[in-house]
Amino acid sequence: MMSFMKGRVLVVDDDTALAEMLGIVLRGEGFEPSFVADGDKALAAFRESKPDLVLLDLMLPGRDGIEVCRLIRAESGVPIVMLTAKSDTVDVVVGLESGADDYIVKPFKPKELVARIRARLRRSEEPAPEQLTIGDLVIDVAGHSVKRDGQSIALTPLEFDLLVALARKPWQVFTREVLLEQVWGYRHAADTRLVNVHVQRLRSKVEKDPERPEIVVTVRGVGYKAGPS
Amino acid sequence: MSGDSVVSGSGMPGDRPKRTVGRTAAGTRLRRLFEGGLLQGGVQGSPVLRLFLRWVRRPLLPVMRLWRRNIQLRVVATTLLMSLGVVLLLGFVVIGQVRNGLLDAKVRASQSQATGGFAVAKQRADEAAGTNGTATGTTPGTADGSTDGTAGADGRPTQNVIQWMSDLVESLSSGGAGAFDVVTLPVGDDSGGGRSPRGSGNVNPTSSVPSDLRDRVNSGTTAAQSYTRIVYSNGKDAQPALVIGKQVNDPNGRPYELYYLFPLTQEEKSLSLVKGTLATAGLFVVVLLGAIAWLVVRQVVTPVRMAAGIAERLSAGQLQERMKVTGEDDIARLGEAFNKMAQNLQGKIQQLEDLSRMQRRFVSDVSHELRTPLTTVRMAADVIHEAREDFDPVTARSAELLADQLDRFESLLADLLEISRFDAGAAALEAEPIDLREVVRRVVGGAEPLAERKGTRIRVVGDLQPVVAEADARRVERVLRNLVVNAVEHGEGKDVIVKLAAAGGAVAVAVRDYGVGLKPGEATRVFSRFWRADPARARTTGGTGLGLSIALEDARLHGGWLQAWGEPGGGSQFRLTLPRTADEPLRGSPIPLEPKDARRRRRPDGSGTPRTEKRATVPAQQSGGHAPALPPRAPAVPTADPTALPGNGNGARVVPRPTGPVRRPEERPAADPGADAGAVRRESGPREPAGPEDSTEPGEAFRGR
């Protein structure tokens, strides 16, 4: 097995049995889990434990998962993976729009969960000294920074990965499926809403006019590509 | 007697419907003639006529549509037409009576006047004859008259008669003074002796008296009458008149025709006055009736139209729409009833919506509530399962069973939730143009491991051209995965053919297997929930029993079809047909539901029995362990004609025989078109499936081992 960074994982879930089980599985895989059961206390716990990843149940007492997600995202780009029982409702889209990087539908297999968590943690451990340009943006891949006219733009790691994936091959049109595989690490076709929502989020940060995108261009019926430099 | 009554009694009910039928038939025929002939152009006649009718029809169509759709227009027009008819009828009757009354009086007065005149003329003639006789000294007598006529050549008597006649006409007409005119005419062509035509008051004598009246007057001695037009010689307009004539003798005893002409000017004037009055009144009546009809119909139609409009809005979903109710009349009752209906409908719909919402909510809640503990159990089971090597065999097996059955439980739960989502109407289609070949490739790729275990080869045909349709890739993939996995599971290790085709506005994917097939009637039941073909077998295959039900719902959501065909022992074919664009209705499928290599179709060349034997050897060969990748029947199925539409396929081309492919095509055309051979074939039908099915068993047993 490849060696992975042993990460701290904050589990935000009110179901104690599930939380405990998650703990068992995560510890078994070498992660350091910490737990919080209440939405109101989630932010405090997050600040205290400074996790590398947050596992967040959408249905929580107190503040709901969406709100918690938004609060965490407001102060950190840490990967957030949602746990949801409803894959087909708007909850997923709302969750993704509020800042979650990925979601996993209950009931899931432990291996599936671990794979998702590792996929989210993995990208932070491959620094490649590389400088890319896309549109009028300059991307320092190793330094994890995106600048326009010297001004730094704050992106979450996932949005950064998405932008880098597009910028590395500006001649190529990426289908949503390809992006899911490259950025999210899905082998099989998954929910393309992930891509749509995160492209929107990325555009809202990097585009001058998100209504008329120039950095991440939609190719109708196919997918996305990087705008001309 | 009783028999008669029975007959008539039984005859009556029989008669009545017949009559109604006749009437409706006549009615429809009439309508067909009208609409078909004039409007739809269904004329059998020459093309020129048809062209003409079409040309005439085109501008008429909007009018006809208005006529059909607008009841107000129809009622007003009908009222106008009918009142016009009534007014015309009335007018004719009234005018006729007035004219008769006027003329009767005139005729009576004229007759007495004329009779008097004729008497005066006769009297004058007699008097003149008397004075003449004494003056000339000739003896009176009949012979005298004839002598007189011949002796008239000397001029005197003739002179007398001319003068006498002129005097007579003048004196007779002087009493009239415009009320009548007098005309004398000679009898026949005898115009001599002062008998030239004469008339008072500028009347043209000859042309004013009709010739048939003259004939009648000349043929008798009584008075005769007729209607005519007086022609004036001084340029005055001709006038209608009554003319009464009689043959009278002149003083010489020779006959002449005396006519009284009574102008009917006054009567004509009166009559035209009456006519004008009637016409004006009639016009007013018709127009007023039309207006009244319009108003009355409006009173009825307006609420009806309002009701129609509101009903339309109601059915479009605006359930709060109500009619305005005023008064207590029938319209108000209609409105009240309508509103009550709308109220009830709204209530029911609200109730159903609430129920549906509750159901969806419930499903969603159950989903969440069930899934969270299931996740814990699932993870726990997996942890235990991972560690099973450290357990004793019983516990280890238990852990395996636990994990397996959790898988099954999970898929069952997922299917249940899916189907309840369909039931709640919560399933939404996310259609976009997809290439079904991609989907098929993914599905086949996913089913490959299972197929390997079963010893089945999955072959895809018809994937040379793109097969693009607007569809929900996730759902289509689910349907096809279900079909392919089913085919592999029930295919008994024989080939599974996945066939794609696109034609017209539809695309289709058919999955063909050569396994146990379906018994008659099972082709529809396979889609029932939790239905299992064979309860004993189903335990081993781990389906939830909901797969095909969900697949059917998925197909329906696309506006597509999912159909099954099968024959016992001959395998089955499931066909998914989708419209090329999401909102287009399906009219047909590019792939026939019954495959070309169906046994019923393969049989026809009469060599059915030997072939059955040949097929019977198929499983036997396999059981013999030759392990041919394909069963020998497989080559018979390269139905790789992607454009094969139902009916355009040529059996000989599509189904080459495994043995003697040269010989078969020759036989086929001879036997194929003949449905007459069907009787024989059908007779052998029920018996035939028994052969291969029996012979399948060794193969199955082999595979079981």
Is the model's pLDDT at B618 over the cut of 70?
Answer: no
Minimum-distance CB partner of B410 among A17, A107, A111:
A107
A90 interfaces chain B, CB cutoff of 8 Å: no
Q: Is A24 on the interface with B (CB under 8 A)?
A: yes
Tell whether ipTM is more than 0.90. no
pLDDT of residue A191: 77
Smallest CA-to-CA distance from B469 within B551, B565, B559 is with: B559
> What CA–CA distance (Å, rounded) separates B520 from B534?
14
| A18 at interface of B, judged by CB pairs closer than 8 A | yes
Mean pLDDT of B282-298: 89
pTM, whole model, 2 decimals?
0.51
Asked whether the beta carbons of residue A25 and residue B375 sit closer than 8 angstroms, the reply is: no
| Radius of gyration of the CA atoms of chain B, in A | 53
Say yes or no to pLDDT of B381 above 80: yes
Residue among A89, A106, A221 whose CB faces B372 most closely: A106
Whether residue B364 and residue A59 make contact (CB cut-off 8 A), yes or no, is no
Q: Buried b vs exposed e over A162-178: b needs ≥16 C-beta within 10 Å?
A: bbbbbbeeeeeebbbbe
* pLDDT tens per residue across span B681-698: 333 333 333 333 333 333
Q: Which of B587, B593, B705, B607 is nearest to B660 (CA)?
A: B607
Residue A141 distance to chain B (closest CA, Å): 35
Q: Could you tell me the domains of chain A?
A: 8-124 (3.40.50.2300), 128-226 (1.10.10.10)
Q: Do B376 and A25 touch (CB under 8 A)?
A: no
Q: Which residue has the higher pLDDT, B692 or B66?
A: B66
Cross-chain CB nearest to A21 (options B371, B380, B410): B380
How is the beta sheet containing B181-186 ordered, strand by strand?
Answer: B198-199, B181-186, B255-263, B239-249, B224-230
**pLDDT tens digits for range B558-588:** 889 999 998 888 888 999 999 988 777 888 8
% of chain B with per-residue pLDDT over 90: 8
What's the token pair of residue A188? 């099989």
Minimum CA–CA partner of A84 in chain B = B368
Question: Does A22 contact B379 at a Cβ distance shorter than 8 Å?
Answer: yes
Alpha-carbon distance B467 to B458, whole Å?
A: 19
Residues of B in contact with A15 (CB under 8 A): 372-373, 376
- Reading the block at residue B450, the tokens are 């299972």
Residues from chain B contacting residue A25 (CB–CB below 8 Å):
379, 383
Kindly report which listed range (B132-141, B198-207, B343-352) carries the lowest average pLDDT score: B132-141
Among B61-75, B158-172, B367-381, which stretch is predicted with the lowest mean pLDDT?
A: B158-172
pLDDT of B669 over the 70 cut: no
Say which range, A35-39, A168-172, B203-207, B361-365, has the weakest mean pLDDT.
Answer: B361-365
Q: How many CA atoms lie within 13 A of B580 on its CB side?
A: 14
Question: Which positions in chain B have a beta carbon within 8 angstroms of at least one beta carbon in chain A?
Answer: 364, 367-368, 371-380, 382-383, 410, 421, 432-433, 442, 473
Q: Is the pLDDT of residue B652 over 60?
A: no
Report the residue from A18, A24, A89 with minimal CB separation from B375.
A18
- pLDDT of A21 reads 92
Is A30:B385 a contact under the CB 8 Å cutoff?
Answer: no
Confidence of residue B188 (pLDDT cuts 50, 70, 90): low
- Chain A nearest-CA distance from B436, in A, is 15
Nearest-CA distance B433 → chain A (Å): 8
Which residue has better confidence, B380 or B542?
B380
The DSSP H or E segment spanning A16 is helix A16-28
What is the b/e burial string over B629-645, where b = at least 16 CB atoms within 10 angstroms of the residue's CB? eebbbbebbebebbebe
pLDDT at residue A127 in the model: 60
When CB atoms are compared, the residue of B367, B374, B379 closest to A86 is B367
Q: From B403, which residue of chain A is nearest by alpha-carbon distance?
A: A109
Task: Give pLDDT, residue B515.
Answer: 86
Q: Is the pLDDT of residue B664 over 50?
A: no
Q: Which position has the higher pLDDT, B628 or B28?
A: B28
* Mean pLDDT, residues B375-391: 89
Which pLDDT score, from 0 to 100, does residue B193 have? 55
Query: Does B702 score more than 50 pLDDT?
Result: no
3-state secondary structure of B70: coil
Question: If residue B489 lies in a helix (H) or strand (E), which one and from where to where?
Answer: helix B473-490
CA closest to B473 among chain A residues:
A189
Residue B425's SS3 state is coil
Task: Decide if A85 and B371 are in contact by the 8 Å CB cutoff.
Answer: yes
Distances (CA, A) of B142 to A18, B139, B351: 156, 10, 122
Residue B510 has pLDDT above 90, yes or no: yes
What angle is formed at CA B403 by the lines to CA B397 and CA B409, rounded to 5 degrees? Answer: 130
Q: Is A27 on the interface with B (CB under 8 A)?
A: no
- How far is A191 from chain B, CA to nearest CA, in Å? 9
Q: In which residue ranges of chain A is pLDDT below 50? A: 1-4
Query: b/e string for B529-549 if b means 16 or more Cβ within 10 A?
Result: eeeebeeeeeeeeebbebbbb
- The pLDDT of residue B35 is above 90: no
Distance CA B678, CA B137 (A): 128
Mean per-residue pLDDT, B123-141: 61
The winner for highest mean pLDDT among B92-101, B215-224, B536-545, B629-638 is B92-101
